[in-house]
A and B are shown apart, each in its own frame.
Chain A
């Protein structure tokens, strides 16, 4: 079965989704990522979904779940590179991913994780 590669980059984990997500893959990613966060004591997770053209409510919910799990394990999650069409779809589905941080591209997402880690995790995820 396919697995989505998870790369370690300093204190952060980098996940680049390059294939169309199906439900099994999303569940596998959730599990792998949880294990890896604990294994590397990662403080940040960057998920790049710029290649993702189709999302459904399940994938949307999985992303929210990953962010919540990461938060429990004391890591911040930033989802980057969401396409306009995908953003509209998620909003129309009623999934505005309130607990997930977002950035325009991987570069800015990485900068955001660094900035957050520099603040020693003093920032809370629910600020607007």
Chain B
């Protein structure tokens, strides 16, 4: 395959910089949005064209991974990252760059009208180049989105596995959300560290917030219980909802751990095991009533 030549592209780009920029901004006019201030967008477009000229002049126009494209890649990365975080759609982000084609091709046509063969070559090269840059932008955009998702996942898993000290020697671990192996690991580490820190005898695992308990989740729970037992702490499982109890029995899941219907029953049992009792005191009459 013959690589599209683009001998005239940098020269035309730099000669008609102003006009291309003006045309481009005009095309972008309807897509303007409160999320992106007008001045910022104008500046971005200007920089993109400037760096595009530099890059084409330095290197070839077919390989955007070349070092010559470094400054251009940098601004595009920055731009798509910001847009991903601002919540722009992929279509809006891609259209932004692809709309450069129209003014660019118009200029090429004007200048090279007399040489159709050269015009075709230049147009093809410019089109390929902008397509590649567009794809690069989309990849970065996607990656930025994924980073956001991963960060949120970590935050959720950290937030949703607190270990609460209910009493001296009694810990509660309210689980919220589905238990997968990665989360079980976090839960287990949190619980075991807290057992050491608070010198706990009993840990209550409350699964009120766990939507479903299948064989896998049960296995994860059992692992946590077994690990806590190895550290010398007993576990009580509480908060098994009626539907979950039914599902567990139908699935043949056996926990073989002391379980209570709700957290308060589990807490009462824990207190009893530690030899503590709760008594209701006769309330003293207020002084002025006597």
Contact = CB atoms under 8 A, between A and B. Distances in A.
Given A84-B189, A88-B192, A104 B233 contact: yes
A84 B223 contact: no
Given A84-B189, A88-B189, A91-B223, A104 B195 contact: yes
Contact of B229 (A80, A83, A96, A108): A96
A92 B192 CA distance: 14
Contacts of B226: 91, 96
A110 to B, nearest CB: 12
B257 interface: yes
Nearest to B257: A128
A125 B226 CA distance: 15
Contacts of B232: 80, 82, 102-105, 108-109
Nearest to B198: A104
Given A82-B232, A91-B230, 9 more contacts: A82-B230, A88-B227, A91-B188, A91-B223, A96-B226, A104-B231, A104-B233, A105-B232, A128-B257
A25 to B, nearest CB: 21
Which of B193, B195, B226, B230 has its CB near the most chain A CB atoms (within 10 A)? B230
Interface in B240-267: 256-258
A86 B189 CA distance: 11
23 contacts: A79-B230, A80-B232, A82-B230, A84-B189, A84-B192, A84-B193, A84-B231, A86-B230, A87-B192, A87-B227, A87-B231, A88-B185, A90-B227, A91-B188, A91-B223, A91-B230, A96-B229, A103-B232, A104-B196, A104-B201, A104-B233, A108-B232, A109-B232
A97 B230 contact: yes
Nearest to A86: B230
Interface residues of B, number: 23
Tell me whether chain A's interface is mostly helix, strand or loop, or mixed: mixed
Interface residues of A, number: 20
A50 B233 CA distance: 15
Contact of A88 (B188, B195, B200): B188
Given A84-B193, A84-B196, A102 B188 contact: no
B199 interface: yes
B96 to A, nearest CB: 49
A128 B193 CA distance: 22
Interface in B182-206: 185, 188-189, 192-193, 195-196, 199-201
Contact of A102 (B192, B193, B230): B230
Interface in A65-98: 79-80, 82-84, 86-88, 90-92, 96-97
Contacts of B189: 84, 88
Contact of B230 (A96, A105, A109): A96
Nearest to B195: A104
Contacts of A103: 232
A86 B230 CA distance: 9
Interface in A26-77: none
Contacts of A84: 189, 192-193, 195-196, 227, 231
A82 B257 CA distance: 21
A105 to B, nearest CB: 8
